[in-house]
Amino acid sequence: MVALYIRVSTDKQTTDNQEIRLVEYAKNKALEYHLYQETESTRKTRPVKQLMLEKARAGEYESIIVYKLDRFARSSMELILDITELTKKGIGFISLTDNLDFTTASGKLQFQILAAFAEFERELIRDRTIEGLRRTKDKGTKLGRPAGSKDSRPRRRSGYILKEARKRQGVDQQNGSFKPIEGYIDRD
């Protein structure tokens, strides 16, 4: 069983082209498949993809097949992290139009090259950030959040204490123990 994943960014776009190619591929290879279609997504939320990944982690799929890499991930970091997790769990990943099949030896090599470039990019960004912070600090600029009204007076602890007490009370209630909230508040 494989998962076919289709995504468009807005509901004004169509998934028809992706679906036709992916279903055709699965049928030509005689693969059983489930189709996951994300019709509207944001950078942070892609519930259909998360559902598919949960099922893949649970062992329901041998492979995930996408039309193109950019339909699966919005950044190279997201792509590398997701594919690394999948391959470690023995789940294949295929991108049709990019002609990438990470289940083969050459596909694994291509993935390692992609991962190396992504790590190189991360290190360059890190080095530039550290250098920029150093240069700013050398100019005499104080780094960090500017001081505000909360820094001139002691902070209230009552909200924190009550919040933590409610958390502990909720855990106990799930385990069948019911006590009043006062029993969870430490009096120092």
Distance CA 100, CA 73 (A): 15
Bridge-based pairing of strands 92-95 and 100-101 is antiparallel
Contact 91, 56 (CB under 8 A): yes
Which residue, chain included where needed, has tokens 């295929």? 94
Which DSSP letter does residue 177 get?
A: -
Active-site hit among 9, 149, 152, 158: 9
- Which one, of 101, 11, 85, 30, lies nearest residue 52 by Cα? 85
Whether 9 is catalytic: yes
Catalytic residues, which ones?
Answer: 9
